[in-house]
Amino acid sequence: MNKSMLFVISGVMMLLCCSCGTLTGHYHLTEKDSGRTLYLNRGDQFTVTLDANPATGYLWQFGTPPYDENVMILRGDKYIHPSEQLAGAPGKRTLHFLAENSGRTGLRLILSRPWEKNIPPQKEFHLMILVKDGTEDDTPRGPRMRRNSKGELVPDRKRSIWE
C-alpha cells in the first residue's frame, strides 16, 4: 500500500470518528489514585483495580454514602485470580464504571471483613468524579466571595468547592 492510499484511509477513519460524536475515554485507576478527582465526559469509562485477597476474609465493599447511580453506573465487578497457584496468594478486584450523566459523585471503597463491626477498615479508596455532557459553561470562575463584617469582599471559605 502506497503512502497516498494510507493517507486517504487515515483521513476517512478520522472523519468517521469525528462524525460519530465525541470520542470517549477509558481510564485505568489503581490504589495510587485514591484521593484524586476524575474529570470525565458523558460516555467515558473507568476501571478501578485494587489488590484483593478474599481468602483472608477482607473484601472491598462500597462505603456510605453510596455513589450516585444517575451520574455513573457499575458495568462490571470481577475478581482476577493470582497467576501463582499458591494458597493465600493475592489477586485483583476490578470495578468497571460508565459515566452516564453529567453531575458529581464520590466513590468510596473500603477493605474490611463484613462481620467485624466497629473496627476501622484495613484500607480505603476514594475518588471524586465530575462528569460533563458538553452543555456546561466552561467559563473559568474565581473563588466564591462574600462580604465580611467590615463590608470588604473576601473569599468565602465556608462553602465547599463542590457547591
Predicted local confidence at residue 90, as pLDDT? 82
| Count of domains forming the chain | 1
Residue 99 and residue 43: Cα distance in Å, rounded? 5
Q: Is residue 33 part of a domain?
A: yes
Q: Is residue 158 part of a domain?
A: no
142 part of a folded domain: no
pLDDT at position 33: 93
Q: Which domain holds residue 37?
A: 20-135
Could you tell me the three cell numbers for 149? 463584617
Residue 100 is assigned to a structural domain of this protein: yes
Long-range own/partner contacts, residues 27-34 (CB < 8 A, 24 or more apart): 29/127, 31/123, 31/125, 33/127, 34/124, 34/125, 34/126, 34/127
Residue 143 forms part of a structural domain: no
Decide if 37 is inside a domain: yes
For the chain, which residues score pLDDT lower than 70?
1-24, 88, 135-147, 151-163
Instruction: Tell me if 38 sits within 8 A of 150, measured CB to CB.
Output: no
Q: Is residue 79 part of a domain?
A: yes
Amino acid at 144: R
Read off the CATH number of the domain in which 59 is found. 2.60.40.2020
The answer to whether residues 131 and 69 touch, using CB atoms and an 8 Å cutoff, is no
